[in-house]
Amino acid sequence: MSEQPSLSPLLVPPKSVENPTWKTAYEKTRWELDVEKLLTLVHAAKAALFLRSQEIDDLPAYRYERAAMETAAKDLLAIKIRRLGWPDPCL
């Protein structure tokens, strides 16, 4: 009797989610002290978030990544307001 390879469950995200580009770009913004470099990193992180949001869909496998991306986007806004002196759009 031959064994068939098991299929991965639908809820297991692909390996690209383990260390996505957007997360690396976002993490760099959290530790940068130079304001000029920070602005560049914020733009890069926002672009990476946008591109990743275009790649993934609404399948349940991506719900945790989408939640993490939403948190990162909120943190990037806070960085722009608090560390870069941008006006708060919520005021």
Residues 6+ apart with CB under 8 A from 79: 29, 30, 38, 42
Residue 14 clears pLDDT 70, i.e. is over it:
no
pLDDT tens digit sequence for 30-53: 999 999 999 999 999 999 999 999
Specify the higher pLDDT residue, 11 or 19: 19
Task: Please provide the average confidence, as pLDDT, over all residues in the chain.
Answer: 84
pLDDT at position 90 is 87
pLDDT at position 59 is 81
pLDDT tens digit sequence for 67-82: 999 999 999 999 999 9
Which pTM value belongs to this model?
Answer: 0.76
